[in-house]
Chain A
C-alpha cells in the first residue's frame, strides 16, 4: 500500500473512533423534544455528520489503496522507528520540541515563567540549528527582559511565579 491512502485510512479511522466516542458521550445529556430541543441534539447531529464524512473518506481511501496495490506492488518493508528518524531528522526535531514545550509548561508552575522561558529559548534555539551557546543565551536574556518590561511592568499581566523567580 502506498503512503497516501495509508495516511488517509489512518486519519479516517481516528475520526471514526472519535465521532463514536463523542456520540456515546453526548447521550449523557438530555435530548428533550423537537418543541424544546435539549443540549444533546446539536452534538448528536454533529457527531453523526462527522461519522458519515469519516466513513465516506475511509471507503474512498480503501478503494484507492486497492487500486494502488494493483498498479504498484510494495517494494520495501516497514522501517524501524530509529531508521525513520535517521532519515527524517527534521521530523525528529518536532518531537523533541514537543517534549521541550511539555517540559516548559510543567516547569513554568514549579520554577516560574522567567526561569523556564530562559531555558526554553536557549534549548529551542540550539535545536533550530544554533551552533554556539553565546547568541542563544543573549537572545534568551533579551526575551525574558522584554517580557518582564512589556507584560509585567507595562501591561500588569501576572505571569506564573515559581520557587526561583
Chain B
C-alpha cells in the first residue's frame, strides 16, 4: 500500500462524524477513568448499542477512545484523592498523592498527562508499523497456530491475572464453558441453550460484561462502608512542572513507553502490569530509591506512560490476529463483530478504512486528551464528589439499557443480573472476572481451531505442535508454566536456608 493511501486512510479520523466520535469517546473514557466503579470494559460494553447507529468506523473510534481515555482519567483521582479510578493507576497513588500533599498536585497531573500523551503517541507509531507486519505474517497461520496462540493466552493470563493461578484458571475455564452455549462453530448444532431462543445465538457478551463489571461493581460499592474523601485543591499556576521535574521525567517517560508497549503485547492485565513494572524499574534505576513513595516524580511519569503505551500494544494482537488478551480489547472485539468487522490478518485488506481510521483516531484522541486533561482537571476531580446514591442507580439503568438494547431480549437482562450476583460473590471470594471474559471471547476461536486442526490432519494430534510457529508458541507456554514453579521452589529453598 502506498504511503499516500495510508495517509488518506489516517485522515479518515478527521471526518466530522469520526472526529466527534473520537471526542465523545475520549471524554467518556476520561469520566470512566475518574470515577471509581465502572471500568473501560463495562463502559465500552454499555456504549456498543449506541455505536451501532454511528457505523463501524465512527463506532469503533468511539470505543477505542473510551479505552485509552480511561487510562488518562485514572491518574486524576490517584493523585488528588489517593483513590485510583482504574487498577492501572493504583501505583500512581504512591508518589502522585505524596506529591499532591506537598503542594505539587498540578505538576504531578501535568507530568501524568504529558507522559500519557508521549507514550500514547509512541505506541500508536509502533502499532502503525508492527500491526500490518504481524497481520502479513499471520497469513501463514493455520488452525494449529491459532490453537497454540489461544492456549498461550490462557496459560499466560492464568499466571498474570489475580492472586491465585488456580483461581484464574478456573475463571478462564468457566468463560470457555460459557462460550460453548449456542451454535457449535463447526457443525452448527445447538448446544446448552435449553430451548431458549435468545441463547441459541450464544450467551450475550454484553450481558456478561455489564453483569460482571457493572452490576457487580454497584454491589461492591453498596457493600463497602463509604468514607468521605478530601480532594486536594489544584491552582492553575501549579499546573506546570518546574525545569528539574521535567528533566527528571523525560527518561522515565521514554522507558515507560517502550516497556508498556512490549507488555501490552502479552496476554493479561497489560496496563496494570506495565504500570507496576515501570515503577519497579524506575525505583531500581534511581540513585535515590528512598524518595519513592514520598513524592518522586519518576514514580508518576514512568507508570503513567507505561499504562498508556500498553493500550497501543494490546491493540496489535487484536487487530492483526483477531485475538483479544485483555477484557477491554475483548469488548472491542465484540463491538467489531457486531459492526460486521472481523479483526485479524484480513482486516487490513478488507477494511483498510476501519483499520487506519482507528489508528488515525489514536493520534487525534491522544492530542484531544492532553488538551482536555490539563485545563479541565479540576472539573474531572470534582466528579468524584458525586455521591454514590445518585451515581449507582444511573449505572444500573445504563447497564440494563445496554444489555436489553443489544438483542431486545429480557433473557439477556436476567443473564446480566445473574452475572452481577455471581461476579460479586466470586470477587468476595478472591476470583477476578477478567479471565472469564477473555475465555468467553477466546472460546469459539479455540474450539474451531482445535477441531479444524484434527479434521485437516485426519485425527493426528501431533499436528497441534508440528509446525515451527507452533513449536515456538508451545515453548513459550512451557516456559510460562515451568518458570513460576522454579521461582517458587527457589524462594522456598532460600526461605529454608535463611531460617536455618
Contact = CB atoms under 8 A, between A and B. Distances in A.
Contacts of B396: 101, 120-121, 124
B223 A34 contact: no
A128 B392 contact: yes
A39 B223 contact: no
A130 interface: yes
A121 B397 contact: yes
A136 B388 CA distance: 12
Contacts of B167: 57
Main secondary structure of the interface of B (DSSP, over half): helix
Interface stretch (B329-337, B343-351, B375-383, B447-455): B447-455
Contacts of A121: 393-394, 396-397
A54 interface: yes
Given A29-B189, A54-B170, A128-B393, A160 B177 contact: no
Nearest to A105: B413
Interface string B139-156: 000000000000000000
Interface in B273-320: none
Nearest to B186: A39
B316 to A, nearest CB: 27
Nearest to A51: B173
Given A46-B176, A105-B414, A108-B410, A39 B389 contact: no
A127 B424 CA distance: 18
Interface in B218-250: 218-219, 222-226
Chain B: interface size category: 35 or more
Interface in B381-412: 388-390, 392-394, 396-397, 400-401, 404-405, 408, 410
Interface in B410-449: 410, 413-414, 417, 420-421, 424, 426, 429, 431, 446-447
Chain A: interface size category: 35 or more
A53 B401 contact: no
A139 B170 contact: no
B222 A50 contact: no
A159 B447 CA distance: 36
Nearest to B395: A124
Interface string A119-137: 0110011011110000110
B459 interface: yes
A56 to B, nearest CB: 7
B417 A53 contact: no
B454 A37 contact: yes
A53 B166 contact: yes
Contacts of B458: 35
Contact of B177 (A46, A93, A151): A46
Contact of A159 (B404, B414, B429, B461): B404
A37 B177 CA distance: 17
A85 interface: no
A63 interface: no
B278 to A, nearest CB: 33
B488 interface: no
Given A34-B461, A128-B389, A94 B189 contact: no
A49 interface: yes
Nearest to A49: B173
B174 interface: yes
Given A97-B218, A98-B417, A157-B405, A11 B177 contact: no
A39 B191 CA distance: 8
Given A90-B224, A97-B219, A109 B397 contact: no
Given A35-B455, A38-B187, A160-B404, A128 B388 contact: yes
A161 to B, nearest CB: 12
A127 B50 CA distance: 29
Nearest to B194: A25
B219 A109 contact: no
Interface string B177-199: 10010001011010110000000
Contact of A93 (B174, B180, B223, B393): B223
Contacts of A49: 173
Given A46-B176, A101-B417, A105-B417, A120 B192 contact: no
Interface of B: 49-50, 53, 166-167, 169-170, 173-174, 176-177, 180, 184, 186-187, 189, 191-192, 215, 218-219, 222-226, 388-390, 392-394, 396-397, 400-401, 404-405, 408, 410, 413-414, 417, 420-421, 424, 426, 429, 431, 446-447, 450-451, 454-455, 458-459, 461
20 contacts: A8-B429, A37-B450, A37-B451, A38-B187, A39-B186, A53-B169, A53-B170, A94-B219, A94-B222, A94-B223, A105-B413, A117-B400, A120-B397, A121-B394, A128-B222, A128-B393, A129-B389, A157-B49, A159-B405, A160-B404
Which 4 pairs from chain A and chain B are nearest by CB?
Answer: A34-B459, A39-B184, A35-B459, A124-B393
Given A53-B169, A60-B166, A128-B392, 19 more contacts: A7-B429, A11-B429, A11-B431, A33-B459, A34-B454, A42-B447, A42-B450, A43-B192, A47-B177, A90-B222, A93-B222, A98-B421, A101-B417, A101-B420, A104-B400, A120-B397, A128-B388, A130-B389, A158-B408
